[in-house]
């Protein structure tokens, strides 16, 4: 759970501890299963929100990758029917 937050949000362990409002040694104990509970309810609520945010980030990245991959296939297939110059003109007119 902690590693998922660190990776998805681009945080290191010290930054994660600071954002949660707990000490770095306590976070280390939680990560290594030497401590199983966060006593501070505010820190526990922050962790819950951070995990859901990390999941949203990962879902957004997956969605963006799927859209990009689909667009690649559409452009590749479209080039069989129209020229590259017309395709570029069409794409730039949509973007403008």
pTM given for the model: 0.51
3-state secondary structure 2-32: HHHHHHHHCCCHHHHHHHHCCCHHHHHHHHC
What's the DSSP call for residue 83? Answer: -
- Residues 24-40 have pLDDT tens digits of 888 888 878 787 777 77
pLDDT of res. 93: 92
**pLDDT tens digits, residue range 32-84?**
878 777 777 888 888 788 888 887 877 787 788 888 888 888 888 888 888 88
């Amino acid at each position: 759970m902690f590693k998922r937050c660190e990776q998805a949000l681009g945080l290191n362990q010290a930054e994660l501890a600071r954002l949660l409002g707990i000490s770095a040694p306590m976070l280390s104990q939680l990560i290594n299963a030497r401590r199983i509970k966060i006593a501070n309810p505010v820190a526990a609520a922050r962790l819950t929100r951070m995990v859901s945010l990390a999941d949203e980030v990962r879902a957004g990245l997956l969605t963006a990758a799927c859209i990009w991959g689909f667009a690649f296939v559409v452009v590749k297939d479209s080039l069989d029917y129209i020229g590259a110059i017309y395709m570029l003109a069409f794409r730039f007119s949509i973007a403008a």
